[in-house]
Structure 1
Amino acid sequence: MHHTDDALSEHESTAIHEPRLWRDKGWTARVIKNEDGDGWAVEMIRGGSAEPALVGPWTMGRNKVDPKPLDATAHQTLVKTASEVIRRHEQQLHAQLNKQVSIESESGTVIVKLVITPDEFEPFGTLTAEDSFGDVLATVKVRPDFRLTRDSAERWAAGGFDRIR
């Protein structure tokens, strides 16, 4: 059985090592004309993503006209930078979608967690109360704009962890 490159998705196929296009280790660096005036920019695209994870300025070559050619070292540095940008973005997103507070109740410390499930049509939140051993005391669905604060958590606990209207 003969395998063609079509069997692989485009971004996993052969590495490309060209002065303005460098594809390796799941990342593509592409040197492009800078849209805001003169000079050059570099786009870093992860895997089969349509959007670049990072677009940054790119150095001129020796002739002060053409871009500096890409090489393995430059690609490696760009991959590191772009990965860091993605990681920070994912952490930020995680922080926006996951919050928790701890409150004191008669039975001890209770951790109340809010997880927002993003959805184009019907995003929702899930509020969960856990005791200090991590056992779930209650879970309710809440509006995606529910604000979890120590106060709202204490009110929920005081109401016996009933559904929140």
Structure 2
Amino acid sequence: EKHGGGPAVPEKAVRFSFTIMSVSVQADDKEGEVPIFTELKPNSELSCKPLCLMFVDESDHETLTAVLGPIIAERNAMKESRLILSIGGLPRFFRFHFRGTGYDEKMVREMEGLEASGSTYICTLCDAGRAEASQNMVLHSITRSHEENLERYELWRTNPFSESADELRDRVKGVS
């Protein structure tokens, strides 16, 4: 635990997720690709689809390997394969290109309007607090969307029920 009060929990909330960054078309007889879609906000919760969410110590390589190993193996298998879809009665071939990028949680919290790392609420995708996370450090589910974070931010900004700071903080669960 770096900051904050409550039970000690591992330093990191690990989120292994994917985003479709871009879709391009390349004709068989052409060398260049033509982009038909590019994700403008690749780290947004609207486009970043979580496959796994857990709390873990960065140095706990056994747990990380056990949980993420199958996902990484599937990704590696997809790198070597082609997806064939019938579009308009003609087979179309698709290949997958993976790019791995890590985002710092501090940056994500700042961009999504969430409290800093000392917050009672330790995750940007669920309402888990330190006490809950200390009891269950592996199995967590996505319990809120980007839209809900925006709604909570608006509640924090306007305080329509004239609540105290502590009451308001409890209502928005880490969004500020």
Fold-level similarity (TM above 0.5): no
Which structure is higher in RCO with an 8 Å CA cutoff and minimum separation 6?
2
TM-score for both structures, normalised by structure 1: 0.22
TM-score for both structures, normalised by structure 2: 0.21
Determine which structure has more spread, i.e. the larger CA radius of gyration.
1
